[in-house]
Structure 1
């Protein structure tokens, strides 16, 4: 098993044990509370509030949100390459960090940042509800957001290996493209948006390829990395369910033969 060496001699002395004491990581109760609040908001509180009100447009917020998400994902990708350089592409290798190194410090910082970024993504569904687009609050959408938060939480409290940065890098790369499309959709006219339809199809394809690569790494990690089998099993289950959801959406949205039937 490869060990990522010290990147300098500065003392970066907060350990994984100390990381588990950071806000939101001390127990799973915080995550359960966030998810429960999220479900109440999108299924009960906001729909009831909007029942006799016109939909909000929220265009300014949508533009700002998509821009911020793009920048956040670019920041994460940059930090991952700062930690691993090109070793990130050797996803079949397990890597751990030496204690009190810059690499461990950066790993803890970027994964904790990702934890809060994923929580911020829950606001997307609340915006759907405020705009009275409840049809977009699909089971896949909700499952995707809830399960992603739990996966990042499990990463932070159960696995401190550099191998976890590979799926994070893939996900952020896809999200840069995805949020760029959403940003364009928010500011472009209807005719321009129609021309971007092939791009939307390509994004769905890229997302599915991402999940295949993530599952391939999960298969390697399950046999060669020191990680709890239950964590790997839950991780693989979530990715498979989300992959199927995207595949089903792709068939229904873009398969011409299905549209004719």
Structure 2
């Protein structure tokens, strides 16, 4: 009981005294448990409840909804990227070390709002998976997809609660740029076959996401080697997320592109070997056909019999 009491006291001290007081009364910011509950509900819905409900149903036709949804995500990502630039990236922020501005200045408050809206955007991205389930594209609801979407709201919540600005927003800035490209791809794909034939660059989108995580990893962990007024706990928090997501996306890239390409090449070689074998068999059959026909219609066999009969008669 004493240990539990200390744990509860430590939690309240963390939430009340060590968090950013500017966001304590904002929607979903008072406690991590509502966000955790939403994330767990999402995972249960897309992995258990959704597939069960769709088991005996026809896939939904969502073309128009997908077009508007992806257009919304492109515009939302553009706005979030613009807000990250307005906060100081590529102008006043340092890529080497950027402490969090905890003041109530207009620029600092604008940055905090941008961080909260980025957190909120992680919930809107749940619809990526929900639409997969509604269209019965269950193979798209992969381990990578569910882990990535299921973890992000909880991860970003801690960033908004404790460090809304400064060094940690580098990840958000990069991520919103990648999402502009990603949702633009999805928007074009939703327009139908006439456009889809030009979308040969999907694998490069995955590569762009992997580059993003390498940059986040390097940007975060550089603070372990320099003096910077930025919480070390969040250096590890952001850096280890980058490692996890890089591993997941790398595994997906290998499975989806490298191994698939190797299987296609192997299948191509097998087809070529089988074709060559059929050609050789066909040529051999063509050379044997006259002889087989001879035996078949009795002419060649008759010649043999006549010669044998002539030999017997001469004896």
Q: How does the TM-score come out when normalised to structure 2?
A: 0.72
Q: Which one of the candidate residues 235, 238, 257 is aligned to 1:232?
A: 235
The structure 1 residue matched to 2:138, chosen from 134, 138, 147, is 134
Q: 1:43 deviation in Å?
A: 1.7
2:207 aligned with 1:202: no
On the 8 A contact 1:88/1:166 being kept in 2, the answer is no
Q: Distance in 2 between matches of 1:237 and 1:70?
A: 27
Q: Please give the secondary structure, in 1, of the residue aligned with 2:100.
A: strand
Q: How many Å separate the matches in 2 of 1:88 and 1:168?
A: 17
Match of 1:73 in 2: 77
Structure 1 CA distance, aligned partners of 2:94 and 2:33? 35
The answer to whether the aligner puts 1:116 opposite 2:120 as a matched pair is yes
Return 224-233 or 31-40, whichever deviates more.
Answer: 224-233
The aligned residue for residue 35 of structure 1 is: 39
Q: 1:162: which partner in 2?
A: 166
Q: CA deviation at 1:89?
A: 6.9
Offset, 1:227: 4.4
> Larger deviation: 215-224 or 165-174?
215-224
Q: Supply the RMSD in Å over aligned alpha carbons.
A: 2.1
Question: What's the offset of the Cα at 1:251?
Answer: 2.0
Compare 18-27 and 245-254 and name the one that shifted more: 245-254
After superposition, the Cα gap between the structure-2 partners of 1:186 and 1:28, relative to the gap in structure 1 and judged at 3 Å, is: same
The whole-number CA distance in structure 2 between the counterparts of 1:74 and 1:162 is 20
Between stretches 136-145 and 247-256, larger displacement belongs to 247-256
| Paired position in structure 2 for 1:249 | 252
The equivalent of 2:216 in structure 1 is 214
Q: Which runs of 5+ in 1 are unaligned?
A: 1-14
Tell me if the contact between 1:252 and 1:258 (Cα under 8 Å) persists in the aligned partners. Answer: no
Distance apart, 1:88 and its partner CA: 6.5
Larger radius of gyration: 2
CA distance in structure 2 between the partners assigned to 1:85 and 1:219 by the alignment: 18
CA distance in 2, matches of 1:101, 1:257: 56
Aligned to 2:88, the other structure's residue is in SS state helix
| CA spacing shift, 1:98–1:253, aligned 2, 3 Å | closer
Q: Secondary structure at the match of 2:164?
A: coil
Q: Provide Cα deviations, 1:47-79, integer angstroms capped at 9, x if missing partner.
A: 111111101121121111111111111101111
Using a 3 Å threshold, how does the CA distance of structure 1 residues 102 and 135 change in structure 2: closer, same or farther? same
Q: Return the alpha-carbon distance in structure 2 between the equivalents of residues 186 and 206 of structure 1.
A: 21
- Contact 2:100–2:164 (8 Å) recurs in 1: yes
Matching residue of 1:188: 192
- Flag the 1:203–1:88 CA change in 2: closer, same or farther, 3 A: farther
Tell me, in whole angstroms, the C-alpha distance in 2 between the residues paired with 1:232 and 1:85.
Answer: 18
**Which position in structure 2 is the counterpart of 1:26?**
30
TM-score, normalized by length of structure 1? 0.86
* CA apart distance, 1:226: 4.1
Q: 1:247 to 1:98 in 2, by over 3 A?
A: closer
1:125 aligns with 2:134: no
1:121-159 deviations in Å (ceiling 9; x for gaps): 112111111111111111111111122112211111121
